[in-house]
Structure 1
Amino acid sequence: MAIGQRQRQHNGGRATTRRRAHGDEGGVIPVLAKVAREVEAAAQRGPLKSAGRAKFQVAALLLREERARVKHSTELTDAARLNEQKRLDGLAGILAKTAARDTSLIALLGEDAPVTTAARELKRDLLMAAGVELSPDDLIIVTEPEPVEERPARDVVPESVRQYERYNPFLAPDFSIAPTSKPQLSGRLNNWELIDPLFRAFEYGAGGGSAVMDLPEPGSLDAPGDLHLMPHQGRFIEAARQGHRTFLLADEPGLGKTAQALLAAEASGSYPLLVVVPNVVKMNWAREVQRWTPHRTSTVVHGDGHDLDAFADVVIVNYEVLDRHVNWLSKRGFKGMVVDEAHFIKNRESQRSKNVLSLSKSIRQRHPNALFIALTGTPLINQVDDFRMIWQFLGWIDEKKPLPELMKRLEDTELTPADFGFFAAARQAVIDMGIVRRKKIDVAADIPARRIADIPVELDDDLGRSIRDAERALVARLVERYRRVLANRDEQPIGIDHALVRLVANAELEESKSQSSGENVFTMVRRIGQAKAVPAADYTVNLARNVGKVVFFAKHIDVMDAAEQHFANSGLRTVSIRGDQTAVQRQKYVDAFTEDPEVAVAVCSLTAAGVGLNLQVASNVVLAELSWTDAEQTQAIDRVHRIGQELPVTAWRIIAAQTLDTKIAELIGSKAGLAARALDGSDAEVLAEGSLQLEALVSLLEEALAEAPAL
């Protein structure tokens, strides 16, 4: 029988007729099911490569053709037609979930999506395997030149920019307000390596106290309309008004860093202003420009920038498209640059870090007195070296040494790294360059205190039991490896060899990262999240019915899907904020959650919605899955715990009892000690460097060895 009768094929537009084999276990659907499962499994291991993408596209094509055949066939009974439609719906669901996991696949679903020669050959082979009778035209695949993907060169110049350049042909450097240049100092520190000592000065917490430069009293707390500045915001803005030009604004999340940056630019006349942000918050930045500086215009760069306004006072561009626009942005004549979520540039080898540094250098060359602000509530994620790229962006250091202004401050201490007191003095010298770090407890007494409450849940179903079995197998594997190494040693330790424990745990972790299948710490954490999805959603339902709106955070899409289904079954309306949405879509859902009283729950991706969103209409957060860093967890909670919040904020962490989840919950705050010591003057002990995954494995192994009989 004909498949879609006479359908146009992609091999030159020739019409062909194909016939398929009969039988419920024969034909296209079983072959299609096999391919769909293979693609699904490959996508679970990571982004699909070219062969996997070809399989996905061919599966989609065959699914579309088979659905048309079933719909129009006169040889099928109604019961048979319904049965085949159900089977095809199931396969469509598999492909949809795969595309949701790797959103770049969505483009392959379009009817006009180009089909490569390899894909056409694969399609022919699958149809032959299904017993479909092919015409000679279908059997012979003519190799044609692969279509050139219609995408612009990485470097683009939008038409609006060309217009701006025609109106402003001369953008000469402006040195009229440049600070008096200082000759390179030839002091006692010239031959010292200083970058690492400066980092150590923060790591040791030398000097004590929070990392806040001396800020002036606010000149005014006035703001547009009915808005009001808080005193800590006014002091920062006044510093810019009085001439300070480089800031690492590291206030805790929720203290209004966006407003401070925009009003500092206004106070210092730093327009045009370039703002580089994560994609998820660029629309919010445009809103904030209108809110805090309504007489200024802003433009948001989307894609290739076809609709941007190059004449705007504030140009907002996200990291992901920055590489296309670096060239014209470097020539635009900006007098200020703000980098939001500045910890995004901590990796010196990443392209976005290089782009940001390139732009900062070009702006500084044209306008030496330009305003530079790095914004981040979590400036340190894993190590003090995370400061490096931020300091370079601000012009405090280069790749090897402090630059003249910081060097002068260090020389003024009259100390060297060999002298007692150098670390405290050096730390303060860097702080005076422009570090501003305030905590809610210090400056925002009107923001309610927040608390984190752990809710243990028992996983007593088959999935829970399999997770505990897998964890026991993991522990047994760690113990066996530890004992095998000890058995080959001549001398046996007294008690537990903690150094060996760490080596064994690290070896397990590295093997887990390279594994594409099997049980390891990563797959177990994911399975724990899946097992907690419904209990966490059920707890959220009870919260929503008793206290109002709730924000629900999860890391994995399947956990979010399961939770949303449970909310729907419970009669709750929800919005979903995920990483595959456009900024406009995301803002639409945020607005619905904020303004529609019928929307009870915002289901959010921990990674995609953890920054830049204001969800303070709720005061309860449910963390269905635990993060690997304290910073990520804090960012999520601070979507609710922000200025203007009138109720106490509680974050409810759902913990799977008697599993690895409890270890992660105990360790989740371990990375907080580094930022607290470096920036907040804390004397808290800093955990030895290493990932939370490693520390969890170490904890599991040490606990097992402590309980095990002696060798």
Structure 2
Amino acid sequence: MPTTASTANRPSQRRRKSSTPRRDDEAPIIPILARKVREVEAKSQRNKLGPTNRVKFQVIAFLVREERARVKADTALAEGTRAELLKRLDGVATILAKTAARDTSLIQLLEVDQATSPVAQRMRRDWLLESGAELAPDELIITDAKPVVAPVVPDALAERQVVPPQVEARREANPFLAPDLTLRQPVSTPRRRLDGWELMGPLYKAFESGAGGGAATMELPPVPEFDRVSPKGREVMVHQSRFLEAVRAGHRTFLLADEPGLGKTAESVLAASVADAYPLLVVVPNVVKMNWAREVERWTPQRRATVISGDGEDIDAFADVFIVNYEILDRHLSWLGSLGLKGIVVDEAHFIKNLTSQRSRNVLALAARIREQVRDPLLMALTGTPLINDVEDFDAIWRFLGWTNGEKPGPILMEKLDDTGLTPADKAFYPEARDAVISMGIVRRRKKDVAADLPDKLIADLPVELDDDFGRSIRDAERELGERLAAKYRRIIEARGDRGLAPGEIDHDIVRLVAHNELEESKAAGTGSENVFTMVRRIGQAKAVLAADYALQLQRSVGKVVFFAKHIDVMDAAEAHFAASGLKTVSLRGDQTTTARQQAIDAFNNDPEVGVAVCSLTAAGVGVNMQASSNVVLAELSWTAAEQTQAIDRVHRIGQDEPVTAWRIIAAHTIDTKIAELIDSKQGLAARALDGEAVDPQSSDSVQLSALMHLLEQALGGE
């Protein structure tokens, strides 16, 4: 990367009204670096360093080195000025070091040759131009590196690949795939006005701030005069019909983010039919494979669906729709990548938000292969909760759909952004940018807007007292954990010396640092020591029978009840309590086969003798329809608002005709109460980014981190 523009190359400073020189005249890049490093530090403290901020970290480190060398070599500077500038640069470097200490993966980014990617070069150039530097022409024009095409099957997975016998039969029946000659024609991409700008950060910011307001839904065609897609005896709803008309009009990439319960599965099945996107691959959580096969049969009876299990020995290779779960996709990449797929649907697409996970890489590799082989394939990401903790959760989904490559927008989105006539330096850019991304295919409808006949949903908290020895031991453990955290906090404060804290004042940066370190140690320790995870599990165990007894009384008065718990031992205790009371139940757990799970769901919905479904919060919280009940008991709290919402919406969905109530069982006078409060506060991100609501920004800290900070502050406040 070229060196920073020298002082001689910079334009003369503008004359100020006062004759006193500006403090930053000698190094105008330093205040920019100071501002940027604080942005990175804030994200790091919240454990939210996405790709954009990692690049920002690189560029800051690079420019600090450049500027330090320039200041030392500038003989025109007075010694006092030079010392002051170096001191300020050391301050930026110190923050970088502290940030790297929190996330050691950043250390490798400090290497001299790291900040050389086109994205980093553009970011550096933009900051230097902002500082008033004049750059050489070769620094202004930055050429993108040629993309590296990753293989569908990485070397590490090559030995795991299987080819089901039926697939060989399909290949022999049709040994040649008809080539699509429209695909690989060389295309000359003209340079665009925004080619030189770093745009991913501004795009995330546009959604994070809810810029422009309004629901994040692309413009959809009006309702057609006739229902041309539903099979005999079935009918699509208005919101589904408008979506399908967009597919009929030729749109092919969608983030279908309707709230849970609005029929995304049926819409996707019909979209494939309208687009004739067969063969179609559907990647889903294991718990919903059978339900997807049923929906294909229900909405497109003329099409055949096959469910891939294990090594796929029993699949129908001549089917139109192939349904596979995330966990076994890795062994089927090779033959799926050569099958000639015309579309791919990813259900519960927030499962791929972690780009370092193998399942995310598998899905992205297959999507890239399909885009190489097929002109305008149907690509659909389905999730009612695309944002869990941070707006950069969009990253993997946008990559899957081909809207971005993680470093910059794709050609179509770039054209839309360029057509705005604005740049990220213009405030008006952000609502326009949000609208541009939405027009790529985001469809977000809320129940209250499109399903007016869907009954209301209420979350009611039921505090319970843990007044036995077990409950008292939990409260004692909470106090001990708070005191242990407080001791760490005091050691850090004493080691660094007095920095002007008033008596009783708490340094919240140190609180967050102590809590973050405790959280990382807890994750590594698992269940082997007393930590926030084991504590919450013990609270769940203590509430198990109390929650089950409430569900039992509720069932006797209102009928069927869905009982959710996070841990198996809590489910076991609840089921034992129900059995002792003579109540017939079914169970939905992660270790069940898809057939057994579907049988349990059918029994709950159709058998009047079954009173309660005891469900795993993680295994049954997605893709399960249980409208036979209108009451949900949450025996344990989740760590995310999205998981809680997904669980409740197993009941609150199309087909429900009763008001839905979710009863949260909360252990009073424990950390359980704070967790419930934190979960409720996390609802703001989706409301702001997707629904355009004017919701005050909440901390992007995880619930676990916030809960630990609460315990620590409580312990310090008690002193």
Question: Which TM-score band (shorter chain)?
Answer: 0.7 to 0.9
Counterpart of 2:355 in structure 1 is 348
Counterpart of 1:438 in structure 2 is 445
Distance 1:277 1:175 in 2: 32
**Does 2:466 correspond to 1:455?**
no
**Aligned pairs, how many?**
557
CA contact (8 A) 2:479 2:715 kept: no
CA contact (8 A) 2:589 2:620 kept: yes
Deviations 1:638-658 (A, max 9, x none): 000010100000000000011
Q: 1:205 aligns with which of 199, 210, 217?
A: 210
Give how far 1:180 is off: 9.4
Counterpart of 1:242 in structure 2 is 249
Counterpart of 1:155 in structure 2 is 161
Q: 1:643 aligns with which of 654, 666, 684?
A: 654
**Does 2:501 correspond to 1:493?**
yes
Distance 1:235 1:201 in 2: 26
Distance 2:565 2:350 in 1: 22
Q: Which runs of 5+ in 2 are unaligned?
A: 1-156
Q: Classify 1:182/1:676 alpha carbon distance in 2 versus 1 (closer, same or farther; 3 Å).
A: farther
**Does 2:535 correspond to 1:527?**
no
2:324 is paired with a residue of what secondary structure? Answer: strand
Q: Give the letter aligned to residue 473 of structure 1.
A: E
Give how far 1:697 is off: 1.6
Counterpart of 2:180 in structure 1 is 174
Distance 1:158 1:485 in 2: 59
Counterpart of 1:693 in structure 2 is 704
Distance 2:329 2:634 in 1: 32
Distance 1:152 1:362 in 2: 16
Distance 1:396 1:498 in 2: 39
1:601 is paired with a residue of what secondary structure? Answer: strand
2:624 is paired with a residue of what secondary structure? Answer: coil
2:645 is paired with a residue of what secondary structure? Answer: helix
Q: Give the letter aligned to residue 280 of structure 2.
A: L
Q: Give the letter aligned to residue 675 of structure 1.
A: A
Q: 1:188 aligns with which of 186, 193, 196?
A: 193
2:270 is paired with a residue of what secondary structure? Answer: helix
1:296 is paired with a residue of what secondary structure? Answer: coil
Deviations 1:614-638 (A, max 9, x none): 0110000000000000000000000
Q: 1:277 aligns with which of 278, 284, 290?
A: 284
Distance 1:357 1:693 in 2: 29
CA contact (8 A) 2:282 2:322 kept: yes
Q: Give the letter aligned to residue 400 of structure 1.
A: E
CA contact (8 A) 2:482 2:714 kept: no
Counterpart of 2:521 in structure 1 is 511
Q: Max radius of gyration: which structure?
A: 1
1:276 is paired with a residue of what secondary structure? Answer: strand
2:160 is paired with a residue of what secondary structure? Answer: coil
Distance 1:463 1:210 in 2: 47
Task: Name the stretch that deviates more: 329-338 or 486-495.
Answer: 486-495
**Does 2:685 correspond to 1:679?**
no
Map 1:499-648 onto structure 2 (within 5 A). Answer: 499-515=509-525, 517-648=528-659
Deviations 1:38-81 (A, max 9, x none): xxxxxxxxxxxxxxxxxxxxxxxxxxxxxxxxxxxxxxxxxxxx
Q: Classify 1:411/1:157 alpha carbon distance in 2 versus 1 (closer, same or farther; 3 Å).
A: same
1:337 is paired with a residue of what secondary structure? Answer: strand
1:259 is paired with a residue of what secondary structure? Answer: helix
Counterpart of 2:100 in structure 1 is none
Counterpart of 1:215 in structure 2 is 220
Counterpart of 1:666 in structure 2 is 677
Deviations 1:567-602 (A, max 9, x none): 001110011110001111100111111111101000
Q: Give the letter aligned to residue 491 of structure 1.
A: R
CA contact (8 A) 2:227 2:235 kept: yes
Q: Give the letter aligned to residue 456 of structure 2.
A: A
Give how far 1:225 is off: 3.0
Counterpart of 2:332 in structure 1 is 325
Distance 1:398 1:283 in 2: 33
Give how far 1:182 is off: 5.6
Give how far 1:532 is off: 0.2
Distance 1:654 1:470 in 2: 20
Q: Give the letter aligned to residue 563 of structure 1.
A: A
CA contact (8 A) 1:221 1:230 kept: no
Q: Give the letter aligned to residue 217 of structure 2.
A: V
Give how far 1:686 is off: 2.5
2:627 is paired with a residue of what secondary structure? Answer: coil
Give how far 1:351 is off: 1.4
CA contact (8 A) 1:175 1:368 kept: no
Counterpart of 1:15 in structure 2 is none
Deviations 1:545-568 (A, max 9, x none): 000000000010100000000000
Give how far 1:510 is off: 2.4
Counterpart of 2:171 in structure 1 is 165
Q: Which runs of 5+ in 1 are unaligned?
A: 1-150
Counterpart of 1:289 in structure 2 is 296
Q: 1:267 aligns with which of 267, 274, 282?
A: 274
CA contact (8 A) 1:185 1:404 kept: no
Query: Normalising by structure 2, what TM-score?
Result: 0.75
Give how far 1:174 is off: 2.1
Counterpart of 2:416 in structure 1 is 409
Task: Name the stretch that deviates more: 230-239 or 188-197.
Answer: 188-197
Give how far 1:152 is off: 11
CA contact (8 A) 1:221 1:231 kept: no
Distance 2:603 2:241 in 1: 32
**Does 2:389 correspond to 1:359?**
no
Q: Classify 1:413/1:182 alpha carbon distance in 2 versus 1 (closer, same or farther; 3 Å).
A: farther
Distance 2:561 2:426 in 1: 54
Distance 2:629 2:174 in 1: 48
Distance 1:266 1:179 in 2: 26
CA contact (8 A) 2:370 2:377 kept: yes
2:463 is paired with a residue of what secondary structure? Answer: strand
1:669 is paired with a residue of what secondary structure? Answer: helix
**Over aligned residues, Cα RMSD in angstroms?**
1.7
Q: Give the letter aligned to residue 422 of structure 2.
A: L
Q: 2:259 aligns with which of 252, 259, 271?
A: 252
Distance 1:364 1:485 in 2: 53
Counterpart of 1:653 in structure 2 is 664
Give how far 1:707 is off: 4.2
Counterpart of 2:237 in structure 1 is 230
Deviations 1:104-140 (A, max 9, x none): xxxxxxxxxxxxxxxxxxxxxxxxxxxxxxxxxxxxx
1:281 is paired with a residue of what secondary structure? Answer: helix
2:681 is paired with a residue of what secondary structure? Answer: coil
CA contact (8 A) 1:337 1:372 kept: yes
Q: Classify 1:635/1:298 alpha carbon distance in 2 versus 1 (closer, same or farther; 3 Å).
A: same
1:668 is paired with a residue of what secondary structure? Answer: helix
Distance 1:336 1:691 in 2: 35
Q: 1:369 aligns with which of 364, 376, 392?
A: 376
2:680 is paired with a residue of what secondary structure? Answer: coil
Q: Classify 1:259/1:479 alpha carbon distance in 2 versus 1 (closer, same or farther; 3 Å).
A: same
Q: Give the letter aligned to residue 415 of structure 2.
A: K
